[in-house]
Structure 1
Amino acid sequence: MRVLSGAAHPLLIRLARGFVRLRWLARGKYMRAASAALLMLLALTALRTYEPRIVTETKERVFDAYQRLKPRQPVEDLPVRIVDIDEASLATFGQWPWPRTRLAALTKRLAELGAGVIAYDIIFSEPDRTTPERLAADLAGSDLPDRDRAVALLKSLPDHDTSFADAMRQAPTVLGFAATRRANDTRPAVKTGLAFVGITPTKVLPPFHGAVANLPLLEEAASGVGAINLSARDRGGVVRRLPMLMSDGDRVYPGLAVEALRVAQGQKGVIIRGTGASGDDDTGHAALVDMRVGQFKLPLTDDGEAWLYYTRDDPARYVSAKDVLDPAQTDRMRDRLEGTIVLVGATASGLVDARATAIGQVMPGVAIQAQMIEQVVSQDFLERPDWASGFEIVMTLLLGSLVAALVLLAGARFSLVACGLVFVGAIGGSWIAFSQFRLLIDPVYPSLATLLTYIAVERVLHTASDREKKFVRQAFGQYLAPDLLAQLERAPDGLRLGGEQRELSVMFMDVRGFTPISEALSATELVDFINTLLSPLSDAIQDELGTIDKYIGDSIMAFWNAPVDVPDHAAHACRAALRMRSVVEQLNAADAFGFAARGLADPVVRIGIGLNTGIACVGNMGSEKRFNYSAMGDVVNVAARIESASKEFGTDLLVSEEVARAAPSIALLEAGEIMLKGKSRPTRLYALAGDEAYAASDTFAEVRRLHRSLLDALAAEDETRATTMLAACRAAAPQALTGLYDCFAARMKLLPGASRPQLDRADG
């Protein structure tokens, strides 16, 4: 008789609720991870579309690194030279600014030496302070002797600015101007004819509001006027682009490099092509595409700039102004300057306009203009095509989605390798685009976006997994075997809940003679007894990977092979039963329950265990508010009846024939057949004698042989032989099987020819 505790253990309720929550966690974490990936990609795409400064600078620093690794290769005899107002020139002709007469002499000298065009990277916005007329005005108010004569003499001399203008009229000369953000009414002269194809440039070019221009006299004499501005988009002091076109909102002005090329080729104008031109698709984004200067075509950015592709600064590009003006150097200078585009600029200390470049060198501004002219002449450009930004955004989405999917499907480790391959592939593809096709494609943002997406998804999954593991350990740690708990922590998604058909091995354990024990103990003592007994028995089940289904008073129901797979679950169940037998023997030997000390008539605690293997339905059982994770089916009912029948067979461990077939390596002895309730034919049962080691021993081989002979004698109703075999079995079998052979002795009394008194005693 079982006594049901009034406070039954609530573990099954917690277990079932736990599995429902775990299923929600397992299913929900992938939704949250996918949502995190989507949100991250949307945020990164929006950031890339907006393109804040940090994104731009990161991208451009990569392009700088490419140029350092593979700068533009110098081409011999490119017709570009820099006439340098250097330290030697200042030492020879005096400090700057020089009188315009010396600049006139320099201009004439360059024309005599055969320069194709002379472009000044200098702005002459004020009259020459040394011009005679200005000096005469200064002397007019003085008290010097012969003042009037000196003033008259000065006024008779030619004006320096006029001399410079006359020299420029006799030579193809280009002057520079600077556009400014400060508003004024000054505007440079437009010497270039501009033809537009497609969008009008004034609708695209950012307008400037003022200018620092040359004296009108000088601009009128010059063949061209071009802007010497550097790109306003270049930040951090590194020059990467150069404006080819500028606008004040009404007119379009060329850059100095464009004007020098135009004048050198004797062209009247340039052709500018923008979006919407015939034969081009109108992308809906107004932008400039390219421009043609004579025989040269160069690509433009959306706002009329060109990317600089640098070579190392070469001293051979420079010619000292002192040498140009030295008559003794005529032949050598003609050889250096004839037919070239000459840029006049300063590199002397205090005059140089030093600029950091993408190639890592500091160069004067005039050298940057020269580099631009060189790459146009050599037709070796860097280009960032109009589809580059769209391509990078698409790659950001595709690569981020790919890595997110890999994290969800293949796990974090494989996906981290894939993320690394994406990095390498993006950088490799970008490098090939640069080195082979001169295209500037950003590898960093798509790669970083991919990495950030990976981190977002992996962190969500990792956090969810940590929550699952914590939950599994909190909810199931005291009810499942540690190995099973580890499996649940590693793969909680493998749990299938809600009525699954599985093959289980089911155990029922009951305490023999529990009623007298409960009557001899108080309620508190009874609880202590139950805890002292069930705790080590539960450990024995868990040590063999079993799942404790429920505690019912003095009884335990457990099963194997759910919620996770347990190979050889029938053998595990048998070993657990053997451990439980050993645990009870040890507890009795130590008088752990205190029954011997109390003087109870029978201080020995005994248990009975029944095992069965078969198909059961395992899952959530109960209502929406109260449910258990449990097993149901005939296999469960048969296990319970086998446990009850173990008393009739005189043994504490009894298993079904299905268990015997599923665990052939376990030491089992046939106990006989019994008609179980609800069954149409007898069920064959086996006594559990020992584990695999005992089953493989010679001792058990002899016991099994003798036991088989006993069964054969009983089947043949040979009382004499049966008596002999029974005695042999008692002598050879373990002490735990004494009760089983007592049961066989009782059966022998029922054989034909056995004495009635013996049968009566057996029945009694």
Structure 2
Amino acid sequence: MRLKSKERTGRRRAFRLVGLGLILFGCFIRIMDPYPVRMSRMIYFDLLQRMSPREYTPDLPVRVVDIDEESLAKWGQWPWPRTLLAQMVQNLGENGAAAIAFDMLFVEPDRYSPARLLNDPALDGVLTVERHAQKVDYDVLFGLEAANWPVVMGTAARISQEGSNVAPKAGIIEIGEAPTSGLISVPHWTPIAPPLDRSAAGIGGVNVSPLGGTGIIRRVPVLWGGPNGPMPGLGIEALRVALDAPFILAEGSADEEGIMLAVELGDFRLPTTENGEVWVRYRHDQPDLYLSADRVMQTPGDPALRAEIEGRIILVGTSAAGLFDMHQTALGESVPGVSIHAQLLEQIFTGEMLNRSDVTAALELVSFVLLGLIVIAVMSSFGAVASFVAGGVAAAAVLGTSWLAFQNQLTLFDVTFPLLGGMANFGLLAGYLFVTTEREKREIRQVFSHYVAPEILDEMEVSGHRLQLGGETQEITVMFSDIRGFTPLSESVSATDLVALLNELFSQVGDQILHERGTIDKFIGDAVMAFWNAPLPVEDHPCRAAHSALLMRQALIRFNASDVMKGRPPIALATGCATGLACVGNIGSRSRFNYTVIGDVVNVAARIEQSCRHVEYDILVSSSVYKAARQDLAMLEAGFVDLKGKSELEAVFLLVGNTTLRTSPGFMELAAAHGDMIAAIRQRQSYVQIKKHCNLCATLATEVEPGLRPFYQAVPGRAADFRSDVQSDQIMFSHRAQANLPSA
């Protein structure tokens, strides 16, 4: 018992060590943060936003002037002459725009300027311009107009350097250990056509993702690391110009270089990632955000238009399909890039800033570890089902915490790694538990297969047979088989050799029991006890028990002829079988019990086996077995014996052979002579006459079953056994009926 407890403790310890190893491996994966882990996290954050998007507030001071399809149809294809853009700036400025930011690039001089048109070889001699207009430059006109208003020009990241470097207009004040050194780096900025670069109040980067970035836009850099110093994004630069603020405050870590914590501008504070990005809190795209450029150009004095523009930051961009400025949001919508800048400004004004810090990431890792420990602790003690329930409850708690953190604190707490990692751990541990359990089941099955036939084991597994304390009463057949002359044998060999000899003998004998679907109850020293019809029903169980006894007889002959028995006297078996009611089940204490049988039939079978010495035959069966199997097997009456503990005498029968022997002429002749012998005994003929009948039977038995000779030799001395009961006439009639003989 103590050994089994140690084995269970060892298995449980090994299981927990495997679980801890999986947790450590999961922590390593999370720290490495490979692409699948990152993507699952991002998809979950997108799901949070889709479940609870930001509400649109029309009163926020942000609008987009959209160069849409209608505007292009009215004012011509893009790019428009800079004079039209100058007129747009004038109209916006006169309507009270707080800032005008262009989410577009002005890299090259305006091709519509008269000075450029006159230098075009294709137009030489075709185009004439008045002398005073020959030197008119539309870029200069646009620049002059832009200088009158708070205009922000856009620049974009590029790999190669062309033209002059672009210097930011905003001053950057850094707090901490060089926080801007860790910003997303831009090799070069696209130049801005002069004099627009000088006349603009601000310059901002129009990119909404790093160079080469594709897919869903989830974070937007508010500061870029450029060749000439930090460059603000277009939205944050437009806010700076609208606030008329000379600088932007970059807050970094006091202990670590290159870590950005937040950007401050006026009264606004934007928590950022360590490389200067801000998570965009998306809302669904709203038509109310957009003002058509055509409306701005045609109705500059409209009071309703002024109400939309006055005091607001105006971002100028395009939604026209052919201008390729569409991006995917976390809500699954495709919107113009200028809309993303506008949404960033909106969340700055509302203060709805998504946040995610290193502390949050650490808590996610702690959640993964706790989930793993819960799974390990519960599964190692209570199994996979309880672990699944406990892990499910813990996972639901983590999921609920994540949702509440998003709803109430706008904190992005990732549950995908704790949950998926926990599920992976559960699956691997369940697999490990299954493998170890299956190995134990195989070991138990292998051990149990020595006691129960394999086909019975299969049926027990299919039917879900459960072992529990207690039993039920049913009809069974019990067999006892004992080694004759065991004491002399034990004195002639060593204890070690004796054990080896018994193991080999019982292995061969036990195989015959299992072959006939029997259950080996126990080995008792030099004896074996078995029973039939339990734990599962076995049809014709008396016949099967009798067949098993005959097979054991043949196995014993082979065993005596084997090398194990060379130089040793042959072993003989005495076998008794009886059929009757018994209580079958698990009998013992609650903590330790055996599957066995209790009942009178057990005692009868044991006493019949002991009577083999008295009868001088190796296999005896009770009248109940005889009645059930007499039509299939060769059996002969052996008289009545006095069984210890029984008040009445018990009729016993010789089990001579199988069905083939029963129908053979030799056995039929022997059965007739056997009947005559018994009739002579019951008719109280003389000893000489009885002896004569016994000798005849012994002679006939030599050809049928030589083992009967000692039985017939002993009959004259135990003639009283055949006259001892009033039922003798009935048994005699049954015997004659079996032998197809006429009754006396």
TM-score (norm 2): 0.66
Q: What count of residue pairs does the alignment treat as equivalent?
A: 563
Matched, 1:111 2:93: yes
What does residue 584 of structure 1 align with?
Answer: 621
SS of 2:358's equivalent? coil
SS of 2:109's equivalent? coil
Matched, 1:298 2:270: yes
How far is 1:242 from its partner? 0.6
Counterparts of 1:327 and 1:66, CA distance in 2: 42
Q: Give a deviation string over 1:7-28, Cα, whole Å, max 9, x none.
A: xxxxxxxxx9xx98x8897555
Matched, 1:346 2:318: yes
What does residue 572 of structure 1 align with?
Answer: 598
Matched, 1:45 2:27: yes
Counterparts of 1:607 and 1:53, CA distance in 2: 87
Matched, 1:222 2:222: no
Q: What amino acid is the match of 2:450?
A: Q
How far is 1:374 from its partner? 0.5
Whether the aligned pair in 1 keeps the contact of 2:483 and 2:526 (CA below 8 Å) is no
How far is 1:355 from its partner? 1.0
Choose from 415, 425, 441 the match for 1:469.
441
Pair 1:93–1:428, CA change in 2 (3 A): same
Whether the aligned pair in 1 keeps the contact of 2:220 and 2:277 (CA below 8 Å) is yes
Matched, 1:93 2:72: no
Whether the aligned pair in 2 keeps the contact of 1:511 and 1:606 (CA below 8 Å) is no
Counterparts of 1:234 and 1:435, CA distance in 2: 33
What does residue 265 of structure 1 align with?
Answer: 243
Pair 1:143–1:224, CA change in 2 (3 A): closer
What does residue 326 of structure 1 align with?
Answer: 298
How far is 1:230 from its partner? 1.8
User: Identity of aligned pairs, percent?
Assistant: 31
How far is 1:116 from its partner? 0.3
Pair 1:364–1:568, CA change in 2 (3 A): closer
Pair 1:204–1:508, CA change in 2 (3 A): same
Q: What amino acid is the match of 1:441?
A: F
Q: What amino acid is the match of 1:122?
A: M
Q: What amino acid is the match of 2:621?
A: V
Counterparts of 1:90 and 1:595, CA distance in 2: 111
Matched, 1:209 2:187: yes
1:515-554 alignment, distance < 5 Å:
546-548=521-523, 551=526, 554=573
What does residue 622 of structure 1 align with?
Answer: none
Q: What amino acid is the match of 2:246?
A: K
What does residue 402 of structure 1 align with?
Answer: 374
Choose from 26, 42, 47 the match for 1:65.
47
Whether the aligned pair in 1 keeps the contact of 2:449 and 2:457 (CA below 8 Å) is no
Whether the aligned pair in 2 keeps the contact of 1:25 and 1:468 (CA below 8 Å) is no
Q: What amino acid is the match of 1:242?
A: V
- Name whichever of 43-52 and 32-41 sits farther off: 32-41
Counterparts of 1:45 and 1:182, CA distance in 2: 41
SS of 2:250's equivalent? strand
Counterparts of 2:257 and 2:310, CA distance in 1: 44
Counterparts of 2:726 and 2:123, CA distance in 1: 145
Counterparts of 2:234 and 2:74, CA distance in 1: 29
SS of 1:325's equivalent? helix
1:373-392 alignment, distance < 5 Å:
373-392=345-364
Counterparts of 1:72 and 1:530, CA distance in 2: 81
Whether the aligned pair in 2 keeps the contact of 1:177 and 1:212 (CA below 8 Å) is yes
Pair 1:577–1:307, CA change in 2 (3 A): farther
Q: What amino acid is the match of 2:229?
A: R
SS of 1:121's equivalent? strand
Q: What amino acid is the match of 2:200?
A: A
Q: Aligned-residue CA RMSD in angstroms?
A: 4.6
Matched, 1:150 2:129: yes
Counterparts of 2:374 and 2:110, CA distance in 1: 67
SS of 1:239's equivalent? coil
Whether the aligned pair in 1 keeps the contact of 2:586 and 2:594 (CA below 8 Å) is no
What does residue 133 of structure 1 align with?
Answer: 115
Pair 1:266–1:396, CA change in 2 (3 A): same
SS of 1:130's equivalent? coil
SS of 1:232's equivalent? coil
Pair 1:28–1:460, CA change in 2 (3 A): farther
What does residue 316 of structure 1 align with?
Answer: 288
Matched, 1:243 2:221: yes
Which sections of structure 2, spanning at least 5 residues, go unmatched?
Answer: 469-478, 488-502, 528-570, 576-584, 609-619, 651-723, 728-744
SS of 2:124's equivalent? coil
What does residue 700 of structure 1 align with?
Answer: none
Counterparts of 2:606 and 2:511, CA distance in 1: 11
Q: What amino acid is the match of 2:129?
A: A
Counterparts of 1:537 and 1:607, CA distance in 2: 28
Q: What amino acid is the match of 1:201?
A: P
Counterparts of 1:472 and 1:50, CA distance in 2: 44
Q: Give a deviation string over 1:281-308, Cα, whole Å, max 9, x none.
A: x4x5852111111111111011100001
Counterparts of 2:14 and 2:58, CA distance in 1: 61
How far is 1:373 from its partner? 0.4
How far is 1:555 from its partner? 7.7
How far is 1:535 from its partner? 7.6
SS of 1:122's equivalent? strand
Pair 1:83–1:486, CA change in 2 (3 A): same
Counterparts of 2:212 and 2:641, CA distance in 1: 90
What does residue 627 of structure 1 align with?
Answer: none
How far is 1:137 from its partner? 1.7
Q: What amino acid is the match of 1:134?
A: R
How far is 1:224 from its partner? 0.7
Counterparts of 1:31 and 1:484, CA distance in 2: 32
Which sections of structure 1, spanning at least 5 residues, go unmatched?
Answer: 1-15, 277-281, 495-506, 516-526, 609-645, 653-729, 734-764
Q: What amino acid is the match of 2:117?
A: L
Whether the aligned pair in 1 keeps the contact of 2:217 and 2:329 (CA below 8 Å) is yes
Q: Give a deviation string over 1:362-389, Cα, whole Å, max 9, x none.
A: 1100011000000001111111123121
Q: What amino acid is the match of 1:92?
A: K
Pair 1:62–1:342, CA change in 2 (3 A): same
Counterparts of 2:632 and 2:269, CA distance in 1: 101
What does residue 672 of structure 1 align with?
Answer: none
Q: What amino acid is the match of 2:401?
A: G
How far is 1:36 from its partner? 2.9
Pair 1:422–1:105, CA change in 2 (3 A): same
Counterparts of 1:151 and 1:578, CA distance in 2: 137
How far is 1:509 from its partner? 6.5
Counterparts of 2:181 and 2:207, CA distance in 1: 20
Q: What amino acid is the match of 1:80?
A: V
- Name whichever of 246-255 and 531-540 sits farther off: 531-540
Whether the aligned pair in 1 keeps the contact of 2:68 and 2:292 (CA below 8 Å) is yes
TM-score (norm 1): 0.65
Whether the aligned pair in 2 keeps the contact of 1:510 and 1:607 (CA below 8 Å) is no
Q: What amino acid is the match of 1:272?
A: A
What does residue 454 of structure 1 align with?
Answer: 426
Pair 1:138–1:588, CA change in 2 (3 A): closer
What does residue 178 of structure 2 align with?
Answer: 200
How far is 1:412 from its partner? 0.8
Q: Give a deviation string over 1:701-757, Cα, whole Å, max 9, x none.
A: xxxxxxxxxxxxxxxxxxxxxxxxxxxxx9999xxxxxxxxxxxxxxxxxxxxxxxx
Whether the aligned pair in 2 keeps the contact of 1:298 and 1:381 (CA below 8 Å) is yes
Whether the aligned pair in 1 keeps the contact of 2:587 and 2:595 (CA below 8 Å) is yes
SS of 1:584's equivalent? strand
Choose from 375, 386, 389 the match for 1:417.
389
Q: Give a deviation string over 1:319-348, Cα, whole Å, max 9, x none.
A: 111111224652221111000000001112
How far is 1:117 from its partner? 0.3
Pair 1:139–1:649, CA change in 2 (3 A): closer
SS of 2:263's equivalent? strand
Counterparts of 1:434 and 1:415, CA distance in 2: 28
Counterparts of 2:129 and 2:586, CA distance in 1: 122
Counterparts of 1:425 and 1:159, CA distance in 2: 67
Pair 1:140–1:435, CA change in 2 (3 A): closer
Q: What amino acid is the match of 2:168?
A: V
